Amino acid sequence: MPTAKNYSYFILLVAIVLLSGCASVPETDSAANYPPMVSYAMSLQGAPYHYGKSSPEEGFDCSGFVQHVYKHQGIALPRTVQGMAQSLSQVPKDDLHSGDLVFFNTNGKPFSHVGIYVNNDNFIHAPSQRTGKVMMSSLKNRYWGERFSCARRP
């Protein structure tokens, strides 16, 4: 015959099972929800920063990262930030789509840094030797927000 203690454990177990069905895990962005170039760019998060380089093996600088990602998708882009900005069509900041390029003035030049827009004000880029790796950042971050120059669509 079941004891009161066993019955209490049984009730607790049933409650946990029932309540866990109500729990929801917030939906996270999956690289599968993005255009191929954005999914590929996201797969490179953590790759090392290395000025003048443009490969996962050697590392990336910002324009090398963007050029590599698009080349992987069969799209040729210039090697420099300036060249990319000059060769692509500008898009309004309020019309950004995944895969657009975002440009920043980080050293007194309007086109001194570039990244790939992901969504929800996030972009992926190879920021600097200091950060040391490809990473996701937000346009809402004060540093990036104050330095935003424009966006272009490949």
User: What range does the domain containing 77 cover?
Assistant: 33-153
Q: Do the domain assignments include residue 101?
A: yes
| Burial environment of residue 153 by CB neighbours within 10 A (0 to 12, 13 to 18, 19 or more) | middle
Q: Do the domain assignments include residue 4?
A: no
Q: Do the domain assignments include residue 125?
A: yes
pLDDT tens readout for residues 44-90: 999 999 999 999 999 999 999 999 999 999 999 999 999 999 999 99
This prediction's pTM: 0.79
d(CA 10, CA 106): 62
Q: Do the domain assignments include residue 86?
A: yes
Q: Do the domain assignments include residue 93?
A: yes
Q: Do the domain assignments include residue 103?
A: yes
In which band, very low, low, confident or very high, does the pLDDT at 32 lie, cut at 50, 70 and 90? low
pLDDT tens readout for residues 99-153: 999 999 999 988 999 999 999 999 999 999 999 999 999 999 999 999 999 999 9
d(CA 86, CA 139): 22
What's the pLDDT score for residue 17? 35
| Residues forming the active site | 62, 113, 125
Q: Do the domain assignments include residue 20?
A: no
Q: Do the domain assignments include residue 42?
A: yes
Number of folded domains that form the chain:
1
Supply the CATH number for residue 101's domain: 3.90.1720.10
Higher pLDDT: 7 or 14? It is 7
Mapping DSSP onto H, E and C, the string for 23-83 reads CCCCCCCCHHHCCHHHHHHHHCCCCEECCCCEECCCEECHHHHHHHHHHHCCCCCCCCHHH
